[in-house]
Amino acid sequence: MKISTFFAARFVLACACVAAPTFATSAHVATTALPGDSVYQLDVPLVDQDGRRLHLADRRGKPQLISMFYTSCQYVCPLIIDTLQKTEHALAAADCTRVEVTLVSFDPATDTPPALKKVADERHVLSPRWLLTRTEAPQVRKLAAVLGIQYRELQNHDFNHTSVLILLDADGRIVARTDKIGEVDPRFVAEIERAIAR
């Protein structure tokens, strides 16, 4: 499930269509240049469940599972977290420590660090390898566009959204994705293992 030419084109279009994203500065990336199709090209400042400030590009260096969610979601978002945990458990024990997980909230107005921390504690996620994060609304839109995740806020403040797990390689390139939620996708697990072995 290598990134396709179609997705590469969509990446460029998404960046062009979300009001001139600010790209990551050298302070937030390694000394070697990022690939042109790296998600880490987006300068996305995050705050995690422990109130730590970082940039998305700071996660460079290990394969990354990334998705988007919101803490007041009662059904699909808990399933996203469950599926990420099941996917991790499907890996060899030694491999679990070589992949990180980042969840970014659709709902920055509600998802403060304490709200994120409550979910992290309830779901027993392991910080700092697992980050539940928030960013401001313009960055939510930019990141969702680049990841190919669609969402919209409803009148009752719930969100309709794409439910997908995405695998980034160590340099932030999308190498696999799955929309199987609630169960382990063996092909997705195999792609994670390949990314870890590189």
pLDDT higher than 80, residue 3: no
**Which of 28, 37, 82, 33 minimizes the C-alpha distance to 58?**
28
Domain ranges of the chain: 5-23+37-197
Q: In the CATH scheme, what is the code of domain 5-23+37-197?
A: 3.40.30.10
Q: What is the pLDDT of residue 11?
A: 42
Instruction: Give 39-74 pLDDT, tens digit per residue.
Output: 999 999 999 999 999 999 999 999 999 999 999 998
pLDDT higher than 50, residue 95: yes
Strands (E), 37-141: 45-48, 53-55, 64-69, 100-105, 130-134
31 pLDDT tier (thresholds 50, 70, 90): low
Q: What is the pLDDT of residue 63?
A: 97
Angle between helices 186-197 and 76-89 (to 10 degrees): 60
Q: What is the pLDDT of residue 158?
A: 86
